[in-house]
Structure 1
Amino acid sequence: MARQSDTRARIQAVARELFAAQGVRETSLRQISDRLGLTKPALYYHFASREDLVRSIVQPMVDDLERFVAAREKTPARDAAGRRLLLEDYFELMWRHREVTVMVVRDLSTLADLDLTERMFDWRRRLTALLFGPEISAAQQIRATVALGGMSDCTVEYAHLPLEQVKDTAVEAAAAALGPATTP
């Protein structure tokens, strides 16, 4: 008999796949349970609702992003090498969570349903401050949006390519979008 954590992980894996392919709202719990050969009550044993299941899939990305930003805020480095390292590490983080990003992008209401929209904007603002410092011009905000958003898009659009091929090009383009580094 499978352990409870194994069953939860299997449910999450199938749900993640279906949510990414069809969208959260278009995927029923019946489809998930049928794909797994489980009854709906068995699925409900592990997850009280679809929102509970979705949250369990998205939460690791949320936790990783929060830890990433908080750790970087302790030791900001806005010189060229520090900015490049931040971009590389951010890309790798987003690459690890690219399936969840696809899921969320496919059904943007997921952000609102999980009350994540403001948190996402907050992370972007905090990362922008790490890249440029506390006094940020509109041009710098736009550059950071292009850099960070473009890298996130690349993790989804080019997920079929090897990590190294996508990462190197995406980070180089993001660094170019940021423009020359300035010291704090």
Structure 2
Amino acid sequence: MARPSDTKQRILQTARELFATQGVQQTSLQEIADRLGITKPALYYHFASREELIRSIVTPLLDEGEQFLLRMRNRTDVTPRELVEGFFDFHYRHREDVLLLLTEMTTLAELGLIDVVLSWRAGLTELVFGTEATLEQQTRAVLAFGGMQDCTMQFPDASFDELRAATVTAACAALGID
């Protein structure tokens, strides 16, 4: 018999796959249980609700994003380019979960997770331009950081190195930095 942590991980992976193909609201917990060959009560043993399951999928992404932002804030020597490169790397690693976030905006807004992502962008903008960023600087940051997220999903067949170089160059240009 599988250990509970193995079952929990299998549930998370199956839910990710079904949510990505069918959407969160169109995927029942029964479908997830059926796909895994477990009972619905067994699924409820690990996740009390659909919302808890969604949170379990996106929480590692959100935690890592918060940690990245905190590390960058705590460094006095971080360059804007290094910040952009780190932000790209983070999104590239989590592009499947970011895609879930973007395709399920309503569900995630209800869970209060959209505000977290928007606060990251505000924090990154402050790191690049300071606390008194102009409207132009703020819009540059929205284009750069939002565009970086999009690029990690829009070009799934591009090599990491090629996509990183092109995306970082474009984001730096949008930000007006070297």
Report what 1:97 is aligned to.
94
Secondary structure of the residue aligned to 2:157 is coil
Q: What is the CA-CA distance between 1:166 and the residue it aligns to? A: 1.3
Any stretches of 5+ residues in structure 1 without a counterpart? none
User: AA paired with 1:56?
Assistant: S
Distance 1:36 1:48, change over 3 A: same
Q: Which runs of 4+ in 1 moved over 4 A?
A: none
Report what 2:53 is aligned to.
53
Q: Please tell me whether the aligned partners of residues 77 and 83 of structure 1 are also in contact (alpha carbons under 8 angstroms).
A: no
For residues 29 and 18 of structure 1, the distance between their equivalents in structure 2, rounded to whole angstroms, comes to: 10
Report what 1:132 is aligned to.
129
Q: Deviations over 1:127-179 (max 9, x none)?
A: 00101112200000010011000000011112233222211111110011111
For residues 102 and 59 of structure 1, the distance between their equivalents in structure 2, rounded to whole angstroms, comes to: 14
Greater shift after overlay, 128-137 or 104-113?
Answer: 104-113
Report what 1:15 is aligned to.
15
Report what 1:2 is aligned to.
2
Residue 170 (structure 1) aligned with residue 167 (structure 2) = yes
Which residues in structure 2 correspond to 1:1-184 (within 5 Å)? 1-77=1-77, 82-180=79-177
Secondary structure of the residue aligned to 1:134 is coil
Secondary structure of the residue aligned to 2:132 is coil
Distance 1:163 1:123, change over 3 A: same
Q: Please tell me whether the aligned partners of residues 69 and 126 of structure 1 are also in contact (alpha carbons under 8 angstroms).
A: yes
User: AA paired with 1:113?
Assistant: E
Root-mean-square deviation over aligned CA pairs: 1.4
**TM-score normalized with structure 1 length:** 0.92
Q: Please tell me whether the aligned partners of residues 150 and 174 of structure 1 are also in contact (alpha carbons under 8 angstroms).
A: yes
Percentage of pairs with the same residue: 48
